[in-house]
Amino acid sequence: MPLQIIRNDITKMHVDAIVNAANRSLLGGGGVDGAIHRAAGPELLEECRTLGGCETGQAKATKGYRLPARFVIHTVGPIWEGGGNGEPELLAACYRNSLNLARELGCESIAFPMISTGVYGYPKELALPIATRTIAEFLMENEMQVYLVVFGASGLAVSLKLFHDVRQFIDQNYVDEHTDRRQEAERKALWRQDREKALKHDQMLGESIFHDLFEATPLADSAPEPAENARPNLRRPAAAGPRPTAAPPDWEKMLRQTDEGFSQMLLRLIDEKGMTDAQCYKKANVDRKLFNKIKNNPGYRPGKPTVFAFAVALELSLGETKEMLEKAGFALSRSSKMDIVLEYFIGNGLYNVLEINEVLFQFDLPLLGSAA
């Protein structure tokens, strides 16, 4: 997944470069700046002294010294003053210039903190989309593994309205594997109001569950119609007489109609949508290596997050998404919160993988894109 949002301490990241949210002097500070200098050791400050400072929005690189990362890319975010002093453009420049510098250094992976969202006061819910969209623009033209590191308890603030809408959709639709929460709520209300009635309701519920599970069917010889309130016959019907012999299937015809596999469906839809392979897998936040594996191996079975990522990138309907999931051996499930979040976005025609990942991250659910 070229852009991953993760919870971690950036000084622990084993990547080619980590980005430091520094100040214009580049001589250290608190927050992530302080953490990076503490972890890198005094040589980092020695090298920073030679750089002559850094303008807001610009980026300069040093070695990583005692850090696991080979390089530290220092950038200076804007101080939030209400948003009217070019803060959004300067913040975007921090991400863009850091990525371009990482590419010049030959980095294949890079980790960002949420620049300016600490003491510089940039509201997280405004900073996040700037970060993810600037990174996504870079990834449309370049190959690099990018991590956006969220630190500590400070959550990732997606827009409150979107978060609330998705939370409500989950609550309305998520059912545990074997309990229907809506039905449970009705039962509880009934038990509070009228015990007698609730008891009868439970008995009826119990019978209907047994009926469904054991599909009571009349015995082979024509059993009399059960009386209105008789308990359904729970015995398995005795083996009826010799089964009528079904006509042998037309194997030839069935093989011809064998469904196309997942990868054939994916490649067909890319063509039908007039996209290039690269446009599709980049929009799906899937890396090139995984896409080539899927393309060259018709029997390849991707993970569910990857199937969803392609469904969103291709802007499929819910029906087409279900079909694509089936080809990969999955079904849209109401007992999976991730599935319900995807049903919300696809059902509402919201096809931005980055925005969906921000919400999935907020709910601690797997993100869209290739698992690798």
Q: Which stretch binds ligand APR (CB under 6 A): 18-26, 81-89, 136-144, 283-291?
A: 18-26
- Options 56, 62, 117, 336; binder of ligand APR; rule CB under 6 A: 117
* Binding of residue 11 to ligand APR (CB under 6 A): yes
- Compute the Cα dihedral for 194, 199, 200, 206 and give only its sign: positive
- Residue reference for tokens 């019978």: 207
CA dihedral 311, 317, 318, 320 (to 10 degrees): -70
For 229-256, the DSSP string reads: TSPPP-SPPPP-SSPPPPPPP-HHHHHH
Q: Between 21 and 110, whose beta carbon lies closer to ligand APR?
A: 21
> How many residues comprise the chain?
372
* Binding of residue 35 to ligand APR (CB under 6 A): yes
Q: Rounded distance, CA 36 to CA 133, Å?
A: 25
* Binding of residue 21 to ligand APR (CB under 6 A): yes
- Options 3, 5, 10, 162; binder of ligand APR; rule CB under 6 A: 10
| Pair type for strands 145-150 and 59-63 | unpaired
Q: Which stretch binds ligand APR (CB under 6 A): 40-48, 115-123, 201-209, 215-223?
A: 115-123
CA dihedral 241, 242, 247, 251 (to 10 degrees): 110
Q: Smallest gap, in angstroms, from Cβ of residue 352 to ligand APR?
A: 23
- Residue reference for tokens 């002559």: 52
* Binding of residue 358 to ligand APR (CB under 6 A): no
Q: Smallest gap, in angstroms, from Cβ of residue 29 to ligand APR?
A: 2
- Options 105, 119, 198, 332; binder of ligand APR; rule CB under 6 A: 119
Tokens of 65: 């010294």
Q: Between 45 and 275, whose beta carbon lies closer to ligand APR?
A: 45
Q: Between 117 and 357, whose beta carbon lies closer to ligand APR?
A: 117
Q: Which stretch binds ligand APR (CB under 6 A): 7-15, 54-62, 219-227, 265-273?
A: 7-15
Q: What order do you get walking across the sheet with 109-112 strand by strand? A: 3-7, 145-150, 109-112, 17-22, 71-76, 59-63
* Binding of residue 9 to ligand APR (CB under 6 A): yes
Q: Which stretch binds ligand APR (CB under 6 A): 95-103, 112-120, 291-299, 334-342?
A: 112-120
Q: Which stretch binds ligand APR (CB under 6 A): 25-33, 136-144, 237-245, 314-322?
A: 25-33
* Separation in Å, CA 49 to CA 29, 46, 59, 62: 14, 5, 15, 11
Q: Between 45 and 119, whose beta carbon lies closer to ligand APR?
A: 119
Q: Rounded distance, CA 121 to CA 102, Å?
A: 26
Q: Smallest gap, in angstroms, from Cβ of residue 292 to ligand APR?
A: 33
- Options 1, 22, 93, 102; binder of ligand APR; rule CB under 6 A: 22
- Options 72, 115, 341, 359; binder of ligand APR; rule CB under 6 A: 115
Q: Smallest gap, in angstroms, from Cβ of residue 153 to ligand APR?
A: 9
Question: Quick one: which of 74, 77, 69 has its CA closest to 49?
Answer: 74
The values of phi and psi at residue 7, to 5°, are -95, 120
Size of the site for ligand APR (CB under 6 A): 25
* Binding of residue 33 to ligand APR (CB under 6 A): yes
Q: Rounded distance, CA 370 to CA 307, Å?
A: 9
Question: Quick one: which of 362, 322, 314, 355 has its CA closest to 339?
Answer: 322
Q: Which stretch binds ligand APR (CB under 6 A): 24-32, 165-173, 229-237, 354-362?
A: 24-32
- Options 109, 116, 336, 370; binder of ligand APR; rule CB under 6 A: 116
For residue 80, give the 3-state DSSP assignment. Answer: coil
For residue 110, give the 3-state DSSP assignment. Answer: strand
Q: Which stretch binds ligand APR (CB under 6 A): 17-25, 54-62, 298-306, 323-331?
A: 17-25
Site for ligand APR, rule CB under 6 A: 9-11, 21-23, 29-35, 77, 113-120, 149, 151, 154
